[in-house]
Structure formats: structure tokens, C-alpha cells
Structure 1
């Protein structure tokens, strides 16, 4: 039943915006101990539900529930005495309301304020790539755009290399930041473009430019991001299809953060193409994941890798697949605390304070094939997923908050980078 509902949703989505969410609801859930957290994850997996904001112990998450499973979901929570409350009974109507609210705040074309991207709008792929090209043209001595390939749908895969020595000084550690791994996580992209601004245009911390080299990949998943903006806002995966495969044609795409070749497809995934955590038919089946892989292999002196996602206000490190600690755990936690402390000092009062910890333990379930586990497995000592803050009144962070988020996130990044060098 669930599979055919999903198939129908994709067919309908082609003809009318948000029609695929007719009859859907969303719920806040909050576990009060680790057992309840594990139980929520089991319920989500059993009914193949979509988690928009991950719950943590004594911290609410947001779960999207299709019409066929509302009763199953709430009955299961009631039986386990897990507290929940309705976020919205009519997800379609709620998304339509958000469309109206964001109408004048989502920029379809490149816009510029003061020579940089504005941070009061979610920018298009075109605008972000144009910004990167403009920065490289204006600062050729330190900034270069690399376009190694194109996405499945033919969009350029662009990242920026920033260095005062053109990456020739191998003594300089490299910091690698990426965002936009999941199409619907629009907020994960601005912190990366803002880092470009702070390193090249605004240069508030010249030591970070002189002591480190930087690789910045703002949009890992340009196809998913574009499809989320234009067609189906909650879409998470890539847009790849396998010709001749019926399920792939009906339910395109792969969860990029389950597609990396580290204990791939062993936990926290689903073999069904329609699942939002489908890991692909093989490790690195997705060209977008291969771009991240190739950067990690090309540069063996990467000190820190940070991938931004949303929402939750978490700073998480390996191992995500089983919640165990690596040999670098003390250092990972110490640097993570430095980032969290720096953000928490300047964060907006409406945002939750950041928590730091092992990804598997914070989430209460293992996640195989993640980019942070893969990066750590190939020698990056400090690898983090930073789940950015969210205000759960809606499914998306209102654009009025973007500037606050990027400013406070940069405070965390620069504190973490300095701490990482001190512990190197």
C-alpha cells in the first residue's frame, strides 16, 4: 500500500504543486530516553516515514506521515508512551501557505548586494555558480573555480579552491566544506557561500587564509535542489534514474548521504527506490557523491571536513554507522565543543543550543554510507555533520533568518578550525 501511494505521489507531482501531499500530516515527537529514541527510529523504518527534523533525547523532531499510516504511527507512539503533538493536519495546505510567505523571498535569478550574494533569499543554482565565477575572476591570485563534471541532469558541479599558495604548500592543512547534499535542505548552502565571502571578499580572519587552504562545494546535489525549489519542496534525493528499471523511473534518485563506500547499505537504509534513504544500487553510483570522494582522495592533507545539513542544531562526528568512537574521538569532541560554544555565544535566542556528539548516538540509530564516515575512513581526522538550526513553525527556515544562521555558523567554523590546528 505504502509503495503505491508513493508512486501515485510522484505521478501527481508532475501536474500540480504539493498535490502529492494531499491528506498528509506531520507530527512533533520527543523521546525522553535512549530507548524511546530507538523506538521512534524503528517505527519510522517500519512504516517508511520521512523524518524532516531528527528527534534527540528530550528534543523534538518532525515526522511526515502519509494518510495510510497516520493511525499506525500514532498507535505505535501511544503504546510506547512516547509524547507527540500535531504539527499540521493538512500538509498540502501548510506548504501552500509557505509558498505564499516565501514568494518574494526566493530569488529565481542572480541578485547581488554590495558585490556579494544577499542572505535574505534562497539563491538559485545559477546565482550561486555565477557568484563563484565572479569571485574567481575578481581574485585570481587566491580563488579558483573547479568544474570536474556535471550532475546527472547535466548541471555543472562547481567547487572553489581558495589558497594563497595555489595548494602548492603541502604543509598547510586543508579545510573542506560542503552543503546542499539533500535537495530540500536549502539552508545548508548559504553557510558555504558565506565562508567564501569571509575568506575572499570580507577577509575578517586573514590568519585562516594564510594558515589553511580551503575547498568549498556549496551545492553537492544541484539536481535535487533545483527540483525541490521548482517542483516538490520536500524532495531529498538526487534525480538519477536507471533506464529500464520501473522503480527507478517511478521514484528517481538516491540519498547521497547513504551512497558513500563505507559499510554501505548495512543499516539506516532501504533497498526500495521509493524510500527517502535509498542508498543506490552500488556505492558511489551517484556522480555527485563521486565528486566529494575525488576531492577527499586528491588532497591527502585535509584536516577537517564539514558537511552542512538541516535541521536540529547538532554537531556530529563518526562513527555514524554504529555509534562507536574512533581513535580520534577525544579530539573530535573537543573541536566540536569549540564550535558549539562559539555558536551558542552568539546564536539567536529562538534557536536551540547546539549539542555535540557521536552521530549514531545522537540520532539513536546507525546510518551507513555517510560522507563523514567515509571521509574519516580515508584519513580525515576531523569530520562533522553540522545540522543547522530550525524554527519548526514551518518545514523551511524563513529566509529572514538566513543571515543570522550564516553569521553564527561562521563563528563556529573559525573557532573549530583554530582549535583543530592547536590539537594537530
Structure 2
């Protein structure tokens, strides 16, 4: 037993040490919060963002400051530029490497303490890697053949299989039932979104407590939409956002496409043509295999998809299109359903997180084009949303933004599921009423 324990500790130590080495690339990177009071200040900051190749985590909105990750070499240039323009800022995190090391420490400790039982399913005490989730989807279909079908939708840029689940009591043959589509991890670094899709799978397949969600609705769930980027965040660069396409590469670092700017609705109108940008839109709409896979799923089932959910983080936002500020014809209904979903989450969220804010993505945050949910909306899917899950903060952890405290993993899945259920039930009623006419 002692030898076995020593072996486990050695494995954990080796894993932890490798991550510490990986995190060295962020040593000295700082997180700033910037108060942009006018449109002119916003334009000036956008120029700085492009010139200094900054990673903007949040553009601000409704009084919130912009949040930006700044490389060590660019910190003085940013501060000088903001000072000269009279723009207020504060240093939120002096060295993000310390937070990255803390995240890994907390996740490793949680995994070591885990009280996992023999019960089937992926536990909610850690963030699971691609291989574990991929195998889990296959096993689900094997164990529940009358309910679950696993589909290999295609390969990522680096050749990883992108799988999704079809969950249905009628094998998708009953066209009187709408489809709810949901996906996570389109942006690689947004780890906390994975528990949302895994929790939904748990409640629809393994721990079923609300039969109407199965009897009245068919489900498509794609847990890892960007597997290459997601693996890269575990092995090389925790804050990587894009896919891993190398055809555009400049130097050793500028590569990849922002998959949430690669879809064929208003493509390239409010995104970047620079491969070094975090919002680089690629060479053309659907140039990336990961985006083309989601397009093909959406086109194959679009006439029955009533609710489309693209789950992101962070900020506690419930966003809908379009990214240019124009509203779809059913904008009032979209807003109303968004409010109902947000209220369902707010009713059970932790007090340390703010209430969700619901609204048009361009009007609340910033213009964007070629996004997944906008594309779905443009196809005539009635209800399409981008969830932005909260960034977990409490009195004991200083983790910011995309980093995950293990204490929040199951809560993130649980509270998001409350909003999903609310939207799904509305979608079922709406679809049924429309198709009776």
C-alpha cells in the first residue's frame, strides 16, 4: 500500500512540475482592469490592443471595466499609453503565473482527495481531459443503447475525433419533438464550460429525475468543440483561445483561428484579419474543420432545432444576436426566454457571483461577426444564445477569469442546468404549438 501511495504521489508531482514549467511562459504577465468612459477612449484602447498584441478577456460593459492580459514586455508601454490618454486603470493581478500555479495545485489536491465510487459517470471534482471525455461518450452509448447514440462528426485540424451525443427516447424519429443543441469549449481556455455539458448528460442519461425533458425533447450535446486547442491549454499554454491551425502561422506563436469568428454569417465584418489577434477569423467562412462540423450538424437538424446554446465563459451574461446590434424579428421573445433562463440560474447561484445580465451581444458588450449562435439564428433557429458562465471568486481563492477552482465545478454544472431546463421546456411548448397549426 505504501509503495502504491508513493507511486501516486510521484505521478502527481511529475504532472504538477510539468505544469509549473508550462506556466513559465506567463511569468510576469499581468492582468489589468481599465475604465473606458467614452467612445474615444474605447477606440484608443483598441489601437493599443492591436499594436501591443494584448489579450482582452472582457471589453467591459454596463459599468464593468475592460479586463486585459498584458505580457511582461508590454506593461510599461500600456501604462504609458493609458496615462497619456487620461484613461484610468488598476493592476488586478501582478503576476498571473502565480494564479496558474494555484489553479493546478487546487485541482491536483482535489483529485488526490476525491472520494470517487464505482458508480458510472465522470465525477465533478476535476476538469476532465479530451481522452477521458471521448471515451466516456463511447461508453455511454454502449451502456444506454436505447437512449444514446454517439456520432463521430469529423476530425479536428490535428486529427482528433469530434464526437457528439444524440439523446432520444425515439431514436430521433419522432418529428413532433424539437431538438435542443448545446456545445462547450469552442474557446479552448474556457474550462468551466465543460461541466455544463457533462452535467446535462448526467441528468438526461444517468441520473434522470425529470422525464419530460426526455419524453418531449431530443438532445444533441457536443462537449468539446475545439479539442486541439483544449489539449493545448493543458499541455502548453493555459490561456490559449483559438484552434491549432498552423497554415496561417507567423513566427513561433501567431497561429490558430478564433472558431467563434469563423462562421458564415457576417463573416469578417467585426473580427480581425491578423493571425496574431485572438479574434482572427481565418481565410474564409468555415475554413476550419471544427466550424464546418458544427455547421453540418446544424444544417442536418436545423428544421427541428428550437434552442441552440453555445456555452462560454466568463462574465455571467446571457447573450443573443445579432453581433452588429440588429435584433432578429422575434427579438422580444428571445429576450423574454433569456430572462427566464437567467432567473432560473440566479435563483440557485452562489451569492459571490453576480446575477446574469441578458441582452444583445453588440449592445451589451461589443460588435462581433461570424459567431456560432448568430449563424444558428440566421438559419431560422428560433432561439439561439451564448451563455457566458461566471468567473468564480470567493474569500479564499484569488483565481480570476478563466481559471477554475474545483469547489465551483459541480456548482457550475448544476446552476447552468437550471437555465438550460427552463429554455428547453419553453422550446418544447413553442415547437409543439407552432407545429399544431
TM-score, L = length of structure 1: 0.88
- Does residue 302 in structure 1 map to residue 305 in structure 2? yes
CA distance in 1, matches of 2:48, 2:126: 36
Alpha carbons 2:335, 2:359 under 8 Å: kept: yes
Change (3 A) 1:326 1:411: same
Which residue number corresponds to residue 9 of structure 1? none
CA RMSD of aligned residues (A): 2.5
Match of 1:341 in 2: 343
Do 2:155 and 2:161's aligned partners in 1 also have CA atoms closer than 8 Å? yes
CA separation in 2, counterparts of 1:61 and 1:53? 5
Residue 258 of structure 2 corresponds to 255
Distance in 2 between residues matched to 1:61 and 1:70, nearest whole Å: 16
1:236, 1:276 within 8 Å by CA — same for their partners in 2?
yes
Question: Residue 152 of structure 1: CA displacement?
Answer: 1.4
Q: CA deviation at 1:270?
A: 1.9
**Structure 1, unaligned runs of 5 or more:** 1-12
- Report whether the alignment pairs 1:151 with 2:156: yes
Residue 19 (structure 1) shift: 3.0
Normalising by structure 2, we get a TM-score of: 0.86
SS in 2 for 1:285: coil
Corresponding residue number in structure 1 for 2:354: 352
Please, which of 219, 224, 230 is the counterpart of residue 229 of structure 2? 224
The 1:283/1:304 distance shift into structure 2, 3 A limit, reads: same
Q: CA–CA distance in 2 between the matches of 1:415 and 1:204?
A: 15
1:30–1:57: 8 Å Cα contact kept in structure 2?
no
- For structure 2, list consecutive stretches of 5 or more residues without a partner in the other structure: 1-17, 432-437
Match of 1:419 in 2: 426
Q: Which residue of 1 aligns with 2:435?
A: none
Structure 1 residues 87 and 15, CA, compared in 2 at 3 Å: closer, same or farther?
A: closer
- For the residues of structure 2 that align with 1:102 and 1:196, how far apart are their CA atoms? 22
Q: CA deviation at 1:43?
A: 4.5
How many residues align? The count is 404
* Cα deviation, residue 54, structure 1: 4.4
**In the alignment, is the contact (CA less than 8 A) between 1:241 and 1:249 conserved in 2?**
no
CA distance in 1, matches of 2:233, 2:107: 14
Q: How many Å separate the matches in 2 of 1:69 and 1:324?
A: 36
Describe how 1:105-120 pairs up with structure 2 within 5 A. 105=110, 114-120=119-125
Q: What is the aligned partner in structure 2 of residue 98 from structure 1?
A: 103
Distance 1:46 1:177 in 2: 36
Aligned to 2:281: 279
CA distance in 1, matches of 2:368, 2:411: 30
Shift of 1:398: 0.6
Deviation at 1:246, TM superposition (A): 5.0
- In 1, the alpha carbon distance for the partners of 2:23 and 2:200 equals 33
Q: Deviations over 1:315-352 (max 9, x none)?
A: 000001x1121112111101100000100011001111
354-363 or 97-106: bigger deviation: 97-106
Following the alignment from structure 1 to structure 2, what is the Cα–Cα distance between the partners of residues 412 and 79?
44
Residues 149-173 of structure 1 show CA distances to partners (whole Å, capped at 9, x for unaligned) of: 1211121100000111111112211
